[in-house]
């Protein structure tokens, strides 16, 4: 296992760029033997974070998404950052391990469902600002 690895990719903030960016992040995690990357939920969580960035900020159609991948020891951090000028939204993220009963799915607002999916893979999720960009930071330790 690599002790420390950092890479990034910048893509247009468009839906057709989501899958290539997600593939880059997932393939990188797999090549570095991150155990969670072998689970399809891992890719789904990353796609959800990218889709959220594209769909929830339509202020600047020429903006880009900047995806950062950092692995330090057994701590994986993935950030999806938007260059459009706005403040990060407050995230209401369910606590790690929050059980979801069958009838609960009907009570989750559509705009909040993705955070449950992301949190199922990444126990630590937060809104961040870095280098004039804002977005979401997702971390897991393995």
Number of neighbouring beta carbons within 10 Å of residue 70: 16
Whether this prediction's pTM lies above 0.75 is answered by yes
> What CATH number has the domain spanning 4-141?
3.30.565.10
CA neighbor of 77 nearest in space, from 11, 134, 4, 19:
4
Query: What was the pLDDT predicted at 4?
Result: 96
How confident is the model over 70-127, as pLDDT tens digits? 999 999 999 999 876 455 454 555 555 555 444 544 554 555 678 889 999 999 999 9
Query: What are the structure tokens assigned to 118, written together?
Result: 């992301």
Q: How far is CA 84 from CA 6, 39, 124, 135, in A?
A: 23, 32, 24, 10
Question: pLDDT value at position 97?
Answer: 55
Report d(CA 122, CA 91) in Å as an integer: 14
Question: CA–CA separation, 96 vs 138, rounded Å?
Answer: 12
Query: Would you say residue 8 has pLDDT above 70?
Result: yes
pLDDT bucket at 46, cuts 50 / 70 / 90? very high
**Domain parsing of the chain, residue ranges:** 4-141
């Amino acid at each position: 296992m690599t002790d420390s690895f950092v890479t990034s990719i910048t893509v247009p903030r468009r839906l057709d760029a989501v899958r290539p960016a997600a593939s880059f992040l997932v393939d990188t995690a797999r090549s570095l033997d991150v155990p969670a990357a072998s689970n399809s939920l891992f890719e789904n969580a990353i796609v959800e974070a990218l889709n959220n960035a594209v769909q929830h900020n339509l202020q600047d159609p020429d903006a880009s998404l900047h995806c950062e991948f950092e692995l330090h020891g057994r701590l994986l951090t993935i950030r999806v950052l938007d260059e459009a000028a706005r403040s990060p939204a407050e995230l209401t993220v369910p606590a790690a391990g929050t059980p979801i009963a069958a009838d609960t799915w009907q009570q989750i607002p559509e705009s909040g469902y993705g955070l449950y999916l992301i949190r199922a893979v990444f126990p630590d999720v937060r809104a961040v600002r870095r280098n004039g960009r804002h977005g979401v930071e997702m971390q897991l330790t393995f």
